[in-house]
């Protein structure tokens, strides 16, 4: 194999669809205002107290100008068309045209946690109620993890590698990390890296309910009358995460491509740290999480004291939040009290495979604007007296170096260091 070229890697654009908005701009605007995007589930009917979810407002795949009725019918795994829309937004934001020079050197890496499970659900209903001849010939492609990237390539014209890093809730960071390595080594010049998930389905909602992972909104809970308060990371009364749908894509570019194509650097990918727990499929292993954080900082060539902001995984679970803060204490020591940290999941919920990419984009935009997004719905927990979680209100505070954490089912951890450009 050829020797790596050790090229610097920059972020030049991003796109997102979240419970706060169908675009990144809408998401950012509402996030700065301290809003949350939660409501009682409308996508399906469930018999569950975990019925507060995050749905992309006004999302209809047929509303996209590249989708007609036939396309929407055939590609009924929601993560396919959602990825196509957000990839197009990200390329537009980056100002990167696909042409004979750029297209062959552009890759697309989109991870997911549950892939096209909604298409499989539709197929099973058709099989049971109408017979085997009513199974769509598009079923198997709809289930393929790489199809969102592939369909985005068909729409947008890039012909570099397309595949799906499968890292559960850390998939987006895995995509960014692998994409950055591919550019660094010279395998491509540009990468669309991110994640997507569309989990608002009865079986998924009930499954997380039975795992005691998602918030149960019972009478007396403050979210019972105000669903916006359902996700509350680092709060005394946190009771689980809010299940959400979404997609996030970050466009990466090699340094020398910026001037050649008139592109704007928005941040630099400085370091990546990734580990696995070898412990339990959901319970975290503090030792390996600590190692991932330390390796990301070391890979970036910095010290813990250099970090100006931490975008936490912050799911709003009792054990998860405590474990993450314990790990940060181990890495940063007393210095942690001076570093603002926050959880975007307080506003958008847990978008599973999309979470890390969405949160990475929000982190980068925050560095560009000198704004730290808040952890909303906060009620102090004495166990977190030593942290600054930027409660309830966005803060104007310049910062140049950010750590973004992502931890996934199966014990997969990926942490990334971004530096403002």
Active-site annotation holds for 174: no
| C-alpha span between 44 and 419 (Å, rounded) | 41
**Contact between residue 253 and residue 101 where contact means Cβ atoms under 8 Å apart:** no
**Contact between residue 421 and residue 327 where contact means Cβ atoms under 8 Å apart:** no
The residue among 243, 172, 107, 167 whose CA lies nearest residue 404 is 172
Size of the chain in residues: 421
Active-site annotation holds for 313: yes
**Contact between residue 223 and residue 217 where contact means Cβ atoms under 8 Å apart:** yes
DSSP string, 328-393: HHHHHGGGGGGSBEE-THHHH-B-GGGHHHHHHHHHHHHHHHTEE--B-S----GGGTT-B--BSS
Question: Which of 93, 261, 313, 378 is flagged as catalytic?
Answer: 313
| Main-chain phi, psi angles of 416, to 5 degrees | -130, 140
Question: Which of 50, 87, 169, 327 is flagged as catalytic?
Answer: 169
The residue among 177, 204, 176 whose CA lies nearest residue 79 is 204
| C-alpha span between 421 and 176 (Å, rounded) | 17
Centroid of chain to Cα 411: 17
**Contact between residue 77 and residue 267 where contact means Cβ atoms under 8 Å apart:** no
180, 92, 24, 165: CA torsion to nearest 10:
-30
Q: Which positions are annotated as active-site residues?
A: 169, 313, 350
């Amino acid at each position: 194999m050829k020797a790596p070229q050790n090229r610097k890697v920059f972020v030049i654009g991003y796109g997102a669809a979240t419970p706060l908005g169908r675009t990144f701009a809408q998401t950012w605007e509402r996030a700065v205002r301290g809003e949350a995007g939660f409501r009682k589930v409308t996508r399906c009917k469930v018999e569950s107290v975990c019925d507060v979810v995050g749905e992309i407002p006004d999302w209809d795949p047929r509303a996209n100008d590249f989708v007609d009725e036939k396309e929407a019918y055939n590609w009924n795994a929601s993560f396919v068309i959602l990825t196509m829309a957000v990839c197009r937004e990200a390329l537009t934001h980056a100002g990167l045209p696909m042409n004979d020079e750029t297209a062959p050197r552009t890759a697309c890496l989109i991870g997911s946690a549950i892939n096209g499970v909604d298409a499989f659900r539709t197929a099973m209903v058709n099989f049971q109620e109408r017979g085997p001849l009513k199974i769509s010939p598009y079923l198997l492609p709809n289930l393929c993890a790489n199809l969102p990237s592939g369909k985005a390539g068909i729409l947008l014209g890039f012909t570099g590698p397309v595949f799906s890093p499968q890292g559960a809730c850390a998939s987006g960071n895995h995509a960014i990390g692998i994409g950055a390595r591919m550019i660094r080594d010279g395998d491509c010049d540009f990468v669309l890296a991110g994640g997507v998930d569309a989990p608002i389905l009865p079986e998924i909602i009930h499954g997380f309910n039975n795992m005691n992972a998602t918030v149960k909104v019972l009478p007396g809970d403050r979210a019972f009358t105000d669903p916006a308060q359902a996700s509350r990371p680092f709060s005394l009364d946190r009771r689980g995460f809010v299940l959400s749908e979404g997609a996030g894509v970050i466009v990466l570019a090699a340094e020398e491509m910026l001037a050649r194509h008139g592109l704007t650097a928005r941040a630099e990918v400085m370091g990546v740290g990734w580990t696995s727990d070898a412990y339990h499929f959901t319970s975290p292993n503090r030792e390996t999480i600590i190692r991932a954080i330390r390796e990301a900082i070391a890979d970036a060539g910095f010290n813990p004291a250099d970090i100006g902001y931490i975008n936490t995984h912050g799911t709003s679970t009792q054990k998860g939040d405590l474990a993450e803060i314990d790990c940060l204490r181990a890495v940063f020591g007393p210095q942690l009290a001076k570093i603002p940290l926050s959880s975007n999941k307080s506003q958008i919920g847990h978008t599973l495979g999309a979470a890390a990419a969405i949160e990475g984009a929000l982190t980068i935009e925050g560095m560009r604007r000198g704004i730290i997004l808040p952890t909303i719905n906060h009620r102090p927990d004495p166990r977190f007296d030593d942290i600054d979680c930027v409660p309830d209100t966005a803060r104007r505070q310049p910062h140049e170096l950010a750590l973004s954490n992502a931890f996934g089912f199966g014990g997969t951890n990926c942490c990334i260091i971004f530096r403002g450009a």
